[in-house]
Structure 1
């Protein structure tokens, strides 16, 4: 009887801990969303633009987190899928009169197809070999974009009009673009959260933790690896489309291999496998380079690298892991 009571107490404690964690997540998410809705009405246009770009990078990092943090695959070419989404939207808007909302699913679908195509050969690769293949994608994309000048605008790129807010909203252009980016970000995070709670999420985590054990349990490694690449690319393509809306200009030099490396660094700093990791990583990617530029105009890259090293020394599991440890130390009422 004593053992049964102890087991019941342990089970009750586990359920209570899970409920407390869920309450924390819901409360933090609601507070963050409320702050996000309130922010553009209190900030100057430049700061609203910065927050809009944070949302764009957060969606791109969400896709990269799905691939690296949850599926355990490596990618040094995520910026290429971001560029594909951006150029798909730009070409559609520059040519025929395509409505802005239509460009989002088309850009996401094109990036998904490209990710699926590269995911098939990537199934047989892992580790450094997979990293080199994805890096090659980012390297050859820029000269490819410059070569097809009649479609992509070549080195000069394409200039596009930005979406204008409907009159009934009463919003300024920067606020309208911000809320478009916020809507895409919220939908993307909700989609990924639902995916990770499903059977697919459990399969991805099994794949990440131990491929051999996952295969024994019936997980189809090739299918889930390929789909992880495709879903990751789809989110990057959606982020690239919103980037085109916000910036109103695309050029090959905006999507060099440095973008892919910066995105991966931002995700690692934000926290691999954590839902908050992409948001924290996006804040890092957006604001830290400007801080580095202000600290040393001659060598901002050096300052940026040193800041990455400092953050990883203080928080080896990323900023999300550091925040989780700090919250865990807060005393709670029994």
Structure 2
């Protein structure tokens, strides 16, 4: 669980306090070393890791580098049977340490991509003026949470084997399905309206994070914008590199006019597309002229795999410049 917010006082720590009193065997890791956490995870009965102010661990490149081992532990702990191998003692004996555990991480801003991709993300907002919520008071509210935890444990423990055999129908795929499957399974066991409510939450929250990934990812943004550029030109089979750059930089909402010291260049475009196996080449255009350019077919596979179809009402970028 990734509990994130843009600023302080959005309720992240408060939610973590509620979780501490609700989850199984909470392990609050305040400035704990990865080695200490490794040794605290029992393979048969793992605790629930709870980390507040996680932005202090990953919020800067230097901090992230210092805590790379912790990030690896959290990534591996997403699934069972992903032990960490360490040497122990004077004989340097290789020892496998369990990593699988439930975890809730709270902090300002997004966590590292590999952790966010393995998380159910709760995005917190600061309370607006005029909004009111009931205060959380440990002395009176914690016992209620303890009672809820006892009831849930008593209900689920006899159903554990059945739950482990369930293969619920998932509304999402791949890693998102792996992350949400336990909650969907519990909802199916609960019956009533819970199966539908859980799947709706899964679908909506996963889609929201996918949209944020698309907005934030430059390499995905370039694919989507190139598709819009082709659409603006009437989906030609070929497009000149110079014309493509004009169309990309003509969109005032896109980052390409300020991409690098001189805006997006043909060289920078090549680098952005390199990981997709797409590059420009000498092309013969109508009229017999030759120029550097791209074929639309080069992008079809990447468009299918990495960016969803554009919304029907989404306008294509339009440039005043004539084609080169």
Structure 1 and Structure 2 fold alike (TM over 0.5): no
Q: TM-score, normalised by structure 2?
A: 0.28
Higher relative contact order (CA 8 A, sep 6+): 1
Of structures 1 and 2, the larger Rg is shown by 2
Q: TM-score, normalised by structure 1?
A: 0.27
Higher strand share: 2
